[in-house]
Amino acid sequence: MESDIATLGLLDDEEIELDNAALLLSELDHDGIALEPYYAMLDDIGDRLAAFDMADTPAEQGEALAQVFFDEFGFTGDADSYDAPLNADLIRVLDRKRGLPVSLSLLYVAAARRMGWTAHATDTPGHVLVRLGDGPPYLIDPFHDGEPVPGDRLAALLEGALGPGGKPGPQHVAPMSNRATLVRLLLNQATRAERGGDALRALALYERMTAVAPDHADAWWELARLQLQLQNVDAARGSLSAMLEVTRDPKKRELITTTLRAIAES
């Protein structure tokens, strides 16, 4: 299984199938589980979506996705136990048909792409959405049953994240790369683990992030921070050195160099 995750890190971003990749990551936490029933469910979703192959516009495609995922299969957001770690664990999301915005969005995106539709998860603060089409952003919200997200609703959604007077901009609905989407899924799990006092679990999740997205500098930094917290100095030094290889940001490079020097002198 670990070798499969390492292989993901070697793929070109566009070669990554989001739902399959997320299943492989989830499998790491379910020793001995058979993935065939989950692949079969994804196939069933695809078969039902194929009935909407004449959906040409983003609005029609959004309606089709909502029809299949919510109306027919019952997928929706877990508002009652939002912070439960299982909401970012794709095996449990498929079992319960409940999840976070990011876990549900990657399911929608992967299914849409298999139809040949243009779909991306968005880099929206606090609440990932699905963006459909090649033109002006057409947004739907898988957490809220695939409902369309017009401008006024987007503004309300972002109000808490942007603060008073903050206005939505193009950057708030920018498409995320496949790797960034997987990192965001793992980050949800890692932050919850650390908040719950489980540093070892958080460490394992940051290790997965660096395997899937080896160029993601912030994941290396957080991994090094936890390694130092757990007094694994050699591992932290290696993570910081890896971060130094992938970041060109002068401020980050200076911080890494300073930290490495402090470790050497301690």
Please write the tens of the pLDDT for every residue from 195-213: 999 999 999 999 999 999 9
Farthest CA pair distance, the chain: 65
Q: What is the pLDDT of residues 113-156, one digit of tens each?
A: 999 999 999 999 989 999 999 999 999 999 999 999 998 888 88
Residue 140 sits at φ, ψ, to 5 deg, of -130, 160
Token duo for residue 126: 């606090």
DSSP at 224 = H
139 vs 214: CA distance, rounded Å: 30
In the DSSP assignment, the letter for residue 217 is H
DSSP state of 1: -
Per-residue pLDDT tens over the stretch 3-55: 678 899 999 999 999 999 999 999 999 999 999 999 999 999 999 999 999 99
List, for residues 161-182, the tens digit of each pLDDT value: 777 766 778 888 999 999 999 9
pLDDT of 265 reads 84
The whole-number average pLDDT for the span 84-95 is: 96
- Average pLDDT over the chain, rounded to whole? 94
% of the chain with per-residue pLDDT over 90? 86
